[in-house]
Amino acid sequence: MSTKPIKIAITNEKGGCGKTMSAVNISAILAERGYRVLLVDADPQGYSTMYCGLYDPSLPSLFEVMFSGENPENAISSTKFGVDVLRSSTQLMSAEELLDQRKCNGLGYNGLLADALAGMDSRYDYILIDCPPQGYKLLENIQLYAGYILIPMIADEFALHSLRLKAEKIIEIRRSVNPQLRLLGGLIVMDEKNKTTGIYRDALQTQDILPFFHTTVRKNIALRRSVNAREPINIYDRRSNGNLDYQAVTDELIGRVAK
């Protein structure tokens, strides 16, 4: 692959919609297939870091990389399943205030992440970012850095009604922050075989406001258990629907970024 990595921001302002689950499992499956993968945990809650069993507030994290000039290598941990993780910590909760101060003082603020991670490009094929649900200026840093956006969603009324707002936000991001940013699509997670979910799923996948992945990730107890086991689903239970679905999502993702 090119020395320039494919950078994918996995984002949704609504919590509990499979953002971290998707970030960790897609990263692990890409690594399993031989790609060099960095997972950047940009959420102050640190769920990706915890999912991978790496949370340690005494170690350098993304916060120090962005705001203290820390070498990113000192904030990255390797995992037994082949993914490198740039750790998060609760210190990242103060990022928004610090970025706001920089903006008020006339200093550059939305390129800090890109500048801090510039040296990582030659080391990875894919860089996935687990985004915070909130934090306008931190998200702006991620949007400037990323090349693609992936939006996990649960098929419900909220997702359906938020589509136009999401589309308008992406248009605004492309206009004011990053004209090169592309939308990979919405990804339905926690999909269930019942009439209500089916109605929303069909409505999401057939609307023409935002593109959606053809694959959906079924609700699966193995996915929940894999979080507690601190293992991605392809390691925890290869025969599970969760692994089959995320393998198919990864196939589709690779095809979409190749276009």
**Helix, strand or coil, per DSSP, at residue 241:** helix
pLDDT of residue 133: 86
* Residue 97 · residue 91 · CB < 8 Å: no
The pLDDT profile of the chain, 259 residues, written as one tens digit per residue, is 446 899 999 999 887 889 999 999 999 999 999 999 999 999 999 999 999 999 999 999 999 999 999 999 999 999 999 999 999 999 999 999 999 999 999 999 999 999 999 999 999 999 999 999 887 899 999 999 999 999 999 999 999 999 999 999 999 999 999 999 999 999 999 999 999 999 999 999 999 999 999 999 999 999 999 999 999 999 999 999 999 999 999 999 999 998 8
pTM exceeding 0.75: yes
Report the alpha-carbon distance of residue 211 to residue 187 in Å, rounded. Answer: 9
Please tell me what DSSP assigns to residue 5: P
For residue 236, CA distances in Å to 28, 119, 228, 233 come to 11, 33, 10, 5
Please tell me what DSSP assigns to residue 255: H
Strand bridging mode 37-41 / 126-130: parallel
* Residue 232 · residue 28 · CB < 8 Å: yes
pLDDT of residue 1: 42
* Residue 117 · residue 150 · CB < 8 Å: no
Q: Count CA atoms closer than 13 A to 236's CA, side-chain side.
A: 25
Residues forming beta bridges with residue 148, ordered by sequence position: 8, 182
pLDDT of residue 53: 93
The two tokens of residue 145 are 């850095």
Q: Count CA atoms closer than 13 A to 158's CA, side-chain side.
A: 10
